Amino acid sequence: MTPSKIGVTGGAGFIGSHLCERLLAEGREVVAVDDLSHGTTANMASFMQNPGFRFHQMDCRNARELRRVFAGCDAVAHLAAEKIPRYGGALQTLESNVQGAHAACEVALSLDAPVIVTSTSDVYGNATPPFNEEDHVVIGPSTTRRWAYAVSKLYDEHIALAMAEEKGLRPAILRLFNVYGPRNHPTWWGGPVTAFAEALLDGEIMELHGDGRQVRTFTYVTDTVDGFVRALDTQDAVGEIINIGADEPITMIRLATAIQEALEIPGPLRAKLVPYEKIGGRYQDVRCRIPDTEKAARILGFDARVGLSDGLAESVAWHVERRRLMDAGSAGGSVSAA
Ligand SMILES: NC(=O)c1ccc[n+]([C@@H]2O[C@H](COP(=O)([O-])OP(=O)(O)OC[C@H]3O[C@@H](n4cnc5c(N)ncnc54)[C@H](O)[C@@H]3O)[C@@H](O)[C@H]2O)c1
């Protein structure tokens, strides 16, 4: 019942590497694939030598090769994806996410294994918070580039559910809400926590989009990974869409303040507002993004446990340590782990 060998796409990425680490710590086997477009081998350094772990650098859209390396897996977790094309790259986002999910679902079907399809809170667009899995989604116009990500993930959800109905696939769809923590990509690709921390450590000013009063909830990565593991181990998750998120809302301005405080940089707030027009792609924001977590609690027994202040402390400590290792590396030392 409980999967013992899991194929993970996007295993060298932020969330994927934490998922691999947790599964290996539980004594399970993991086969990870990643094309290293945004992930790194450093993310996997702490478990690369684990005898239960195998890594293959490859494009997960190659279904034939994916089937070969995932042979013997009794579950698949599909995380490989391109994220919000804030500054360009919508075509890559659409093609990669649509084709990647298709390949992962085909492979899971051929293995007769359940599959976790990783979706996003971005699919709700500007729905009315708190976002419930049954809600209508409110996506902006196609002329706004950022919605390409949400639409690609909605396609992934539909493909998985259609393959369930018509071919017997066993998918569980997880809609993740802003994840943060160590190993997150140190640019806007990793979202505001990492972008703000890196800006401050560079001695620069944090950029808050729009008026900075958007509301988000942030989920520490170990909590998100706990949601994945519970979904892998819960038969009742099959066929369901489930929000995985924390419910501690915060505005971007408050988040920026908290990160500056966590880095012990005295005030005033080192931030500036960036008008949406400056972002390009006819950018539109989501004003308030809060999950309804009732379904995750009911089906998975999931409850985010790491509070924002503890999670931010861990995150900024990682950013500081990452720089220390980079400096040591450039001074002749070796940079081994991230
Ligand atoms: N981080 C968040 O806040 C968040 C929120 C909602 C949903 N998600 C979803 O969670 C998943 C993981 O996101 P993440 O934050 O860890 O991002 P990430 O970029 O760190 O990880 C994604 C990984 O996929 C790899 N990849 C991309 N395309 C690939 C391909 N075609 N073949 C093989 N590997 C490929 C990248 O190299 C990267 O390592 C994604 O599906 C993302 O859409 C993340």
Which CATH number belongs to the domain containing residue 51 in this structure? Answer: 3.40.50.720
Q: Are 275 and 202 in contact (CB under 8 A)?
A: no
Q: Is 162 in the pocket of ligand 1 (CB under 6 A)?
A: no
Please give the C-alpha separations between residue 314 and each of 162, 193, 194, 219, 318, in angstroms, as whole numbers: 40, 11, 12, 13, 6
Angle between the N-to-C axes of helices 308-330 and 252-262, in degrees from 0 to 180, rounded to the nearest 10 = 60
Atom 11, ligand 1: residue with shortest CA distance: 79
Q: Which residue has the higher pLDDT, 60 or 338?
A: 60
Whether 115 is covered by a domain: the verdict is yes
Whether 320 is covered by a domain: the verdict is no
Whether 270 is covered by a domain: the verdict is no
Q: pLDDT (tens digit, 9 = 90+) per residue, 106-162?
A: 999 999 999 999 999 999 999 999 999 999 999 999 999 999 999 999 999 999 999
Q: Is 0.75 surpassed by the pTM of this model?
A: yes
How many angstroms is it from 267 CA to the middle of ligand 1?
Answer: 34
**Token pair of 31, please?**
């086969």
Q: In whole angstroms, give the CA distance from residue 185 to residue 197.
A: 11
Atom 21, ligand 1: residue with shortest CA distance: 13
Q: Are 32 and 80 in contact (CB under 8 A)?
A: no
User: Among 26, 296, 18, which Cα is nearest to 180's?
Assistant: 18
Q: pLDDT (tens digit, 9 = 90+) per residue, 207-231?
A: 999 999 999 999 999 999 999 999 9
How many angstroms is it from 80 CA to the middle of ligand 1?
Answer: 5
Q: In whole angstroms, give the CA distance from residue 18 to residue 181.
A: 10
Whether 154 is covered by a domain: the verdict is yes
Atom 12, ligand 1: residue with shortest CA distance: 79
Q: In whole angstroms, give the CA distance from residue 87 to residue 149.
A: 12
Confidence of residue 330 (pLDDT cuts 50, 70, 90): low
pLDDT at 86: 78
Whether 231 is covered by a domain: the verdict is yes
Of 123-127, 270-274, 278-282, 299-303, which gets the smallest average pLDDT? 278-282
Confidence of residue 334 (pLDDT cuts 50, 70, 90): very low
Please give the C-alpha separations between residue 54 and each of 33, 100, 158, 181, in angstroms, as whole numbers: 9, 20, 30, 24
Whether 117 is covered by a domain: the verdict is yes
Atom 29, ligand 1: residue with shortest CA distance: 80
In this prediction, residues 286-300 reach a mean pLDDT of 97
Query: Residue 333 pLDDT > 90, yes or no?
Result: no
Q: Which atom of ligand 1 is nearest to the CA of 60?
A: 32
Q: pLDDT (tens digit, 9 = 90+) per residue, 63-77?
A: 999 999 999 999 999
Whether 205 is covered by a domain: the verdict is no
Instruction: Cite the DSSP H helix spans in 26-70.
Output: 63-69
Average pLDDT of the chain, as a whole number: 95
Domain of 155, in residue numbers: 5-179+221-245+291-304
Query: Residue 104 pLDDT > 80, yes or no?
Result: yes
Pocket test for ligand 1, best of 22, 33, 37, 107 (most atoms within 8 A of CB): 37
Q: In whole angstroms, give the CA distance from residue 86 to residue 107.
A: 31
Percent over 70 (pLDDT), the chain: 97
Secondary structure of residue 142 in the 3-state scheme: coil
Q: Is 130 in the pocket of ligand 1 (CB under 6 A)?
A: no
Q: Which atom of ligand 1 is nearest to the CA of 96?
A: 31
Confidence of residue 338 (pLDDT cuts 50, 70, 90): very low
Beta bridge partners of 174: 118, 242
Provide the number of structural domains found in the chain.
1
pLDDT at 84: 82
Pocket test for ligand 1, best of 61, 62, 179, 194 (most atoms within 8 A of CB): 179
Whether 330 is covered by a domain: the verdict is no
Q: In whole angstroms, give the CA distance from residue 77 to residue 319.
A: 27
Confidence of residue 331 (pLDDT cuts 50, 70, 90): low
Please give the C-alpha separations between residue 162 and each of 26, 118, 134, 150, in angstroms, as whole numbers: 32, 16, 17, 18
Percent over 90 (pLDDT), the chain: 92
In this prediction, residues 301-326 reach a mean pLDDT of 97
In this prediction, residues 30-42 reach a mean pLDDT of 97
Q: In what order do the strands lie in the sheet with 53-57?
A: 53-57, 29-34, 5-9, 75-78, 115-120, 171-176, 241-244
Query: Residue 38 pLDDT > 90, yes or no?
Result: yes
Q: pLDDT (tens digit, 9 = 90+) per residue, 1-33?
A: 799 999 999 999 999 999 999 999 999 999 999
